[in-house]
């Protein structure tokens, strides 16, 4: 049995929390200081997503130090989707009109979902936290998602939380019927590559 330091998840994503719960990985939630997320283009789409996850790490609010030598692991993550041909980045739709637009784009082009993850191991020293180990990685998955035009209204009624999901495409529950294929990590599409996370937790 692998033993991990206490894991703190700095995220409000319901999908990430659900994946950790289902994997029986114990964790606590960590707040972030208010900040404006940026998506400045890097050399590649993958590096852009990683940059956002790394930026979030700068705004974490660590718990108070209670005991010298305590170790905790902190995780930040970010997930973005883009179309494979036109390379249009699809964030969270936010409203029904944008959701319909994104679903139309995914009917015409397959998608690529990338999740960037930042994991930091902190140890309490002299009353403060110090980073002793760190790991940054990303997971990339391609997928097909085809919601017919006459199904969009029904899709929204059954998956209202899709407005807060990157691209609006959900592969669980009602949304599973629209998945034509997935090439890569299934959990990455939901928002957190669990297999890779367990490997990195094992390393630290």
pTM for this predicted structure? 0.90
The H or E element containing residue 70 is: none
| Tally of structural domains, the chain | 1
**Do the domain assignments include residue 13?**
yes
Considering the domain boundaries, does residue 1 fall inside one?
Answer: no
Give the domain CATH number at 121. 3.90.950.10
pLDDT of the residue at 127: 87
pLDDT digits (tens, 9 = 90+) for 53-68: 999 999 999 999 988 8
In this prediction, residue 131 carries a pLDDT of 95
Check residue 40 and give its pLDDT: 62
10-residue mean pLDDT profile of the chain (204 residues): values are 76 92 94 72 86 94 90 95 95 94 96 97 92 96 96 94 93 95 96 95 86
Does residue 100 belong to any structural domain of this protein?
A: yes
pLDDT digits (tens, 9 = 90+) for 91-120: 999 999 999 999 999 999 999 999 999 999
**What residues make up the domain containing 137?**
6-203
pLDDT at 67: 87
The confidence score (pLDDT) of residue 118 equals: 97
DSSP assigned state of 32: B
Inside any domain, residue 125: yes
Number of H helices, E strands in the chain: 6, 7
C-beta separation of 185 from 196 below 8 A? yes
Residue 1: the pLDDT is 45
Whether 126 is covered by a domain: the verdict is yes
């Amino acid at each position: 049995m692998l033993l991990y330091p206490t894991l703190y998840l700095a995220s409000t994503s319901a999908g990430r929390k659900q994946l950790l719960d289902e994997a029986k990985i114990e964790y606590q939630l960590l707040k972030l200081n208010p900040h404006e997320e940026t998506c400045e283009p890097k050399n590649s789409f993958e590096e852009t997503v990683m940059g956002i996850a790394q930026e979030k790490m700068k705004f974490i609010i660590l718990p108070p130090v209670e005991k010298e030598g305590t170790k905790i692991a902190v995780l930040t993550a970010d997930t973005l989707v883009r179309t494979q041909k036109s390379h249009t980045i699809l964030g969270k739709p936010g409203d029904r009109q944008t959701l319909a637009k994104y679903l139309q784009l995914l009917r015409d082009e397959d998608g690529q979902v990338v999740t960037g993850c930042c994991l930091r191991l902190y140890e309490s020293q002299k009353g403060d936290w110090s980073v002793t180990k760190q790991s940054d990685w990303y997971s990339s998955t391609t997928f097909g998602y085809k919601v017919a035009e006459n199904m969009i209204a029904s899709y929204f009624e059954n998956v209202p939380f899709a407005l807060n999901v990157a691209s609006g495409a959900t592969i669980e529950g009602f949304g599973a019927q629209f998945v034509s294929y997935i090439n890569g990590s299934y959990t990455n599409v939901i928002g957190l590559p669990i297999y890779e996370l367990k490997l990195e937790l094992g390393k630290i």
